Chain A
Amino acid sequence: MALTFASLLQTTSPFSTNSIKISVLGTSLKAAKKLTKHTAQFKCNGVAGELSMSEPADKWVQFPHLCDSGRRLMEEVASMIETQLDSQLNPCCTPADVRSFKNADVDSEGSVNIKSGAQGSKIDFVLGSWLHCKTPFGVLNIATIIGMVNPQTDAPHLLFEFIQSGQSSLVLVLDLLPRKDLVLDPDYLKWFYEDTKLDAPREALYKAQQAQPYVSSSLYVRSIVSPTAILVKINSELQSTAGTADGMEKIINDVVEPAAKEVVRIWLDAILTRGRPVDDFEKDLLLKRDNMIKTKGVEVDLSSNMPRLFGQDVTDRVVAAFRKGI
């Protein structure tokens, strides 16, 4: 099968708005060559290309290691995003060795899957990933869905992390990350956070007996989240069906799922309807701020545990994919 690809290397200044850097890494090219099926055609910045991929384009991301209700929740949210954003997203072109990687001992594995925003869309990229790690303290599963928005719109970004350790402990981070300084811009706060009643799902979730606030150890992460951010630790042992797998499943179904889906629904509505166009001067500011969130916020988070679990090599590949948004 002919493998043609477009390699676009444009210098990106931190303040440019339209140029994106795409390159397919040498090693992953080899891996892609060996695989058959599924050629994707796409246009990036007006240049057409074809890429072979390891899996069908229609399954952006799956979450094989989560408990049943966790898996269903994350996959349904991924599906909501994919369906509603539809033509705003390119097919997933993430290199195969980023879509699937393991550590040297083969007891931990992970997957990072990125779909970049299509030409003219409001999306920078969406990312679906999971890490499954066997640690001395038990099994750790970190499932993440991120929606990064580009400066065509002022709608917030989406951050959703579902971190399960063992059977009875869950940490949830779910937020629409503001694109502006809310203290300076109370209208932005009102438009995206008050008028949408975004605090209601947070309030409902915090009322649950098993939920306690989760405070990130990073002061920077604390400062990027919104005033309606859901940051909770859920301990299923704090209830009658204590410690059982069923206990956690029930909480996810009854408490977490409705709140999570409502937040994602509000985010999608923000992208498709509420988001407002940005004038040229503001685009530069937004881009600068978004880059700070990506590098200091999300990238640090992604790369903080990975070297220890998967080695520097894998970490570098994952971070590179994230930086390129592909």
Chain B
Amino acid sequence: MSSKDKVGILRNWDIGFVRGMEISEREDWIHFPYLTGPCRSMMEDIAKCIHKHLGPLLCQTKSPPDVTHFTSPRGNAEGSFILRSGANLSQVKFVLGSWIHCRLGVGTLNAATLIVMLGPDNDVPHFMFEVIENDSSNLILLLDLLPRKDLVCSPEYLKAFYEDSELERYRQSVEKAYHSQSYVPSSLYVRSAVSPTALLFKFRDLLAPNDLNLLVKELIHPTAKNVFGTWFHAFSHIGTTRPKAEGEEKSVILERDEQIRRMGIEKDLSSNLPKLFGQEIADRVIAAIRKGE
């Protein structure tokens, strides 16, 4: 082999090595630049957890650059939607991380979301985590394992994924917290899609940024981690011991997941994104979500 060839091979190996580093460094596949302090740490930590536990099952994002970052024509709002499709779509459909930041009049609004949507081979619940922060004095939390089945007809599903888990205990610990009130989403569909142990809370009139920081650091972040842990246990252990969904059952799960994506995720974006960013950006974001990558 000539020395020239050796250099060639070495260069290729270098490139491969660098690419490998890039992929593994994607544990920070999403940043939340407008969140601060414990709120930012929390979202980035859960995003890292998702990468750490699901990384090998996910592709890199193929979301176009004008979906992974966009600004409103007026310049008062910015957003980012990053989707990573599952390597095996029947197992993991996609992971979505997003944030929206806008300055309205005297105040600011920050919304941050992390969702894991699974594929129809299994009936493990989806993972949903959303935080909406207003001026560091109000916080809304949505944290849940979204059921894949009609719980009324499936008490064994309710037992396997919810009753036998610690989810109710986590929910109650936040319910008891000072300043916590129950949050009722304006969308009836979202109210229907969440589980009986969903954490839907608002924290109002927190007097100082420090109140919010303390709340997030001491309660919400650990709870989010616990709930994600419960979800991952469901995915990696409970899900793998359950019979694979087939035939009629599988097509119902598929249809249900489609409705959750349409009515739970898309519908809200279709009505709010155009107001902040215009129809063009809204359409691009929804197209990316439909593609799931």
Contact = CB atoms under 8 A, between A and B. Distances in A.
Interface of A: 181-184, 186, 189, 193-194, 199, 206, 213, 215, 219-220, 222-224, 226-228, 288-289, 292-293, 296
A220 B188 contact: no
Contact of A223 (B151, B256, B260): B151
B126 to A, nearest CB: 11
A189 B184 contact: no
Interface string B193-207: 101110000000000
Contact of A184 (B150, B151, B184, B195): B150
A219 B192 contact: no
Contact of A289 (B153, B175, B184, B188): B153
Contacts of B46: none
B189 interface: yes
Nearest to B252: A184
B56 interface: no
B182 interface: yes
Contacts of A183: 147, 150, 189, 192-193, 256, 259-260
A189 B152 contact: no
B152 A184 contact: no
Given A184-B252, A223-B151, 11 more contacts: A184-B256, A184-B259, A186-B263, A213-B182, A219-B158, A219-B163, A220-B196, A223-B195, A223-B196, A227-B188, A296-B155
Given A183-B193, A183-B259, A186-B263, A193 B155 contact: no
B191 interface: yes
Interface of B: 147, 150-153, 155, 158, 162-163, 168, 175, 182, 184, 188-189, 191-193, 195-197, 252, 255-256, 259-260, 263
A219 B196 contact: yes
A72 to B, nearest CB: 29
A175 to B, nearest CB: 12
B196 to A, nearest CB: 4
A291 B153 CA distance: 9
Contacts of A289: 150, 152-153
A199 B150 contact: no
Contacts of A213: 182
B150 A181 contact: yes
12 contacts: A181-B152, A181-B153, A183-B147, A183-B150, A183-B192, A183-B193, A184-B255, A199-B188, A219-B162, A219-B168, A219-B197, A224-B152
A131 B15 CA distance: 77
A199 B168 CA distance: 26
A183 B147 CA distance: 10
Contacts of B147: 183
B27 to A, nearest CB: 32
Nearest to A223: B151
A220 B255 CA distance: 23
A318 to B, nearest CB: 23
Most buried by B among A183, A215, A293: A183
A194 B193 contact: no
Given A189-B188, A206-B184, A222 B256 contact: no
Contacts of A292: 152-153, 155
A272 B162 CA distance: 37
B162 to A, nearest CB: 6
B256 A227 contact: no
B152 A186 contact: no
